[in-house]
Amino acid sequence: MHEEETRVAILQATVQYYLPEFEAAIKQATEEVGGGDAVLVMHQDAFAAGYDDDEYTLLGMAVKYAGLKGVTVNVIGKNHATF
C-alpha cells in the first residue's frame, strides 16, 4: 500500500470510529442527491465548542473525508441567540 493510500485508510477509519454520526450524514447526503453535488451544512459548534485541539483536528479530518466522498461542507456560525 502506498503512503497516500495508507493515509486515506487511516482518515476513513478515524472518521468511522470517532464520528459515526458525521459519516452517516455524509452517506445520507450522497444518497439524497444520487451521488451528485451533495452539500452538508453544520454549525461551527458541532466541533470544538470547547476549543479543544483534538476537536479541531477531527473537524479537519471530517471536512477532508467529506471531500473524498464528493460532499461539500458548509459551516455556519450563527445560531438563534446571534440572529
Which pLDDT band holds residue 82 (cuts at 50, 70, 90)?
Answer: low
* pLDDT, position 48: 78
Inter-CA distances, 31 with 1, 10, 38, 47, 56, Å: 29, 24, 9, 24, 27
Of 26 and 35, the one with more pLDDT: 26
User: Please, how many CA atoms are within 13 Å of residue 13, restricted to the half-sphere of its CB?
Assistant: 6
Nearest 10 degrees: Cα torsion 74, 44, 30, 70: 60
Euclidean distance between CA atoms 55 and 49, whole angstroms: 8
The amino acid at 51? Y
Give the pLDDT of residue 61.
Answer: 96
Q: Which tens digits make up the pLDDT trace of 35-74?
A: 678 999 998 888 877 888 999 999 999 999 999 999 999 9
Query: Domain segments of the chain: what residues?
Result: 3-82
Give residue 81's pLDDT: 61
pLDDT at 77 over 80: yes
